[in-house]
Structure 1
Amino acid sequence: MKQIEVQILQQSYLLSCPEGHESRLLEAVERVDTAMTRIRDAGKVRSRERIAVLAALNLAFDIADREAADLAAERAQPAGHAHTIGSTSQPSDASTDDQQLQALVRRLDDALGEDGRLL
């Protein structure tokens, strides 16, 4: 495991990351930082913890919307294009995003410790 220091909402966090996945972690950090910055800059919420929870919820809703759109697109496919059992297709981007989001929240919880648990 490699450790990477990142900044989210101008606060440093030391996060563990599997070798070779650094760019994916940095992309996730950028998404979270952007989401939290938008909420903070809107001026209605000041607590870092509340900003983090709202950002996580917004990201989760985005993922749920993508999953719903993917499911609708799959259902709209003609019967001849349906996936077969044993198909080697890759998992949807939405489920990968959901897994990444959950892993990031766990990492942030670990970094914040017991007193700053996000969820």
Structure 2
Amino acid sequence: MKQMEVTIMGQSYLLGCPPGGEAALTAAVAQVDREMSAIRDAGKVKARERIAVLAALNLAYQLADTPREAAASTPVSSPEVDALIKRLDEALGHDGQLL
């Protein structure tokens, strides 16, 4: 398995990549970076872990709710993001720790 160094929200990661999967991994990294950066830039969430969870939820929602070809172009609306933030805050409690 090949290893690729990628950057998401300014932080480098070394990821395993199967032969021939470089383009797909690069596209996935770009999509995650865009989603996380958009959440960070909205200014409502500061903790990196919460941004990652919200980005994962947004991307999963897009995949479940839209055809695969259109998933990247369908943003989750602001009320939905606010509801996700509220649910995440309740689940994490006061300490803000995921685990």
Same fold by TM-score greater than 0.5: yes
Structure 1 unaligned runs (5+)?
A: 68-92, 95-117
Counterpart Cα distance in 2 of 1:21 and 1:66:
24
Runs of 4 or more above 3 Å deviation:
none
What RMSD, in angstroms, separates the aligned Cα atoms of the two structures? 1.8
Q: TM-score, normalised by structure 1?
A: 0.56
- AA at the equivalent of 1:53: V
2:32 alignment partner in structure 1: 32
Residues 13-92 of structure 1: pairs in structure 2 closer than 5 A: 13-66=13-66
1:98 alignment partner in structure 2: none
Q: TM-score, normalised by structure 2?
A: 0.67
Counterpart Cα distance in 2 of 1:2 and 1:52:
25
- AA at the equivalent of 1:46: K
How many residues in Structure 1 have an aligned counterpart in Structure 2?
Answer: 71
**Bigger Cα Rg:** 1
Q: Percent identity?
A: 63
Counterpart Cα distance in 2 of 1:12 and 1:49:
15
Structure 2 unaligned runs (5+)?
A: 70-97
1:102 alignment partner in structure 2: none
